[in-house]
Chain A
Amino acid sequence: MTRIIPAVGMVVLGVVAWVALWGDWSWANVLVGVVLATLTLVLQRRARSTPFRVEPGALVRLISIVLVDLARSTVSVAKEVITPTDYTEEAVLAIEVEPAAMSHALLLTVAITLTPGTAVVEVDPASSTLYLHVLHARDRDEIAAHVHQLADLAVAAFPSDAPAMEASP
């Protein structure tokens, strides 16, 4: 029974997205939107192998941190562009995260790449290590702490009931 309510929410979201994309509120649009949203949801339910839940509180915190990061990274890149001296010390760092976070690798990659001065170069699920390219190697501890915070929030926002993803070659 608890699955009904999120399903209705997803359909409503889908319909709103569909109507907004057409930019025109008509019954035909709404009707087609309902059909498409339901179809998408049914197909998605069939394809999904690992169930997951959403924790709204943690998700909102994750999104707000990423938004602040985006603003900060824009400022830091702008500063690096404007100032004549080159302060960059480029490095590729290996940062280990909890194995549980590897099932959220895509979300983590998006969040980390939006963080100031860091980007994901490679992900190794076997050792649950992220290899990050950083512009300022001297901030290593700060970067590691930030990545761990993002990883914890990603796991908290989408608690997975299934065991972590197995390593693929």
Chain B
Amino acid sequence: MTIVSSVLMLGGSLVAVLAGIGILRFSTPYARFHAAGKASPVAFVITAIGAALVADEGAGILIFAAIAMVLTLPVGVHLLFRAAYRTTNNQHLIVDELDATMYES
């Protein structure tokens, strides 16, 4: 059990490190949100499962925190995308089907 939990916690850390590198390496705000917003809940869930396997107490709290994270983080990521879209010029997008339609009126 200790081995399984160690592997899970190390794997979660690895995903978090990759997400961090992604935030530095990607050049546009949107790509950075993708890196931060997708990998971090996964990193948290994997690490939490690993920790819950060996925790004497608090395993329930870890599981609830993981569920809450997965359910709420996408909403925050969506708001970041929305805010970024409204405040940047979006020159790098190769297709932009929102530009022409929604903000005309």
Q: Indicate if the CB atoms of A122 and B22 lie closer than 8 Å.
A: no
Contact with A along B2-45 (1 / 0, CB 8 A): 00000000000001001101100111101101110111011000
A124 interfacial contact with B, CB 8 Å? yes
Which residues of B sit under 8 angstroms from A91, Cβ to Cβ?
A: 93-97
CA distance A114 to B99 in the complex (A): 24
A36 interfacial contact with B, CB 8 Å? no
Which residues of A sit under 8 angstroms from B97, Cβ to Cβ?
A: 91-94, 131
CA distance A110 to B67 in the complex (A): 13
Q: Assuming the A-B contacts A81-B18, A92-B93, A109-B74, are A74 and B98 also in contact, with contact meaning beta carbons closer than 8 angstroms in the complex?
A: no
Which residues of A sit under 8 angstroms from B19, Cβ to Cβ?
A: 77, 81
Q: Give the total of A residues in contact with B, Cβ under 8 Å.
A: 39
State the Cβ distance, B36 to closest chain A Cβ, in Å: 9
A10 interfacial contact with B, CB 8 Å? no
Q: Indicate if the CB atoms of A109 and B15 lie closer than 8 Å.
A: no
- Tell me the nearest residue of chain A to B80, going by C-beta: A119
State the Cβ distance, A30 to closest chain B Cβ, in Å: 14
**Quick one: which of B25, B34, B95 contacts A117, CB cutoff 8 A?**
B34
Q: Assuming the A-B contacts A81-B35, A113-B78, A121-B85, are A92 and B98 also in contact, with contact meaning beta carbons closer than 8 angstroms in the complex?
A: yes
Q: Indicate if the CB atoms of B81 and A81 lie closer than 8 Å.
A: no
CA distance A10 to B75 in the complex (A): 24
State the Cβ distance, A69 to closest chain B Cβ, in Å: 9
Q: Indicate if the CB atoms of A71 and B42 lie closer than 8 Å.
A: yes
State the Cβ distance, B58 to closest chain A Cβ, in Å: 5
State the Cβ distance, A158 to closest chain B Cβ, in Å: 15
Known: A122-B82, A133-B85. 9 other contacts (CB 8 A): A77-B39, A88-B31, A90-B92, A90-B93, A110-B74, A119-B30, A122-B102, A131-B98, A137-B94
Residues of A within 8 A of B (CB): 17, 19-21, 23, 70-71, 73-74, 77-78, 80-82, 86, 88-94, 106, 109-111, 113-114, 116-117, 119-122, 124, 131, 133, 135, 137
Instruction: Jot down 11 A-B pairs with beta carbons below 8 A, ordered by A.
Output: A20-B61, A70-B70, A78-B18, A81-B18, A89-B94, A90-B28, A92-B95, A92-B96, A113-B37, A119-B37, A121-B81
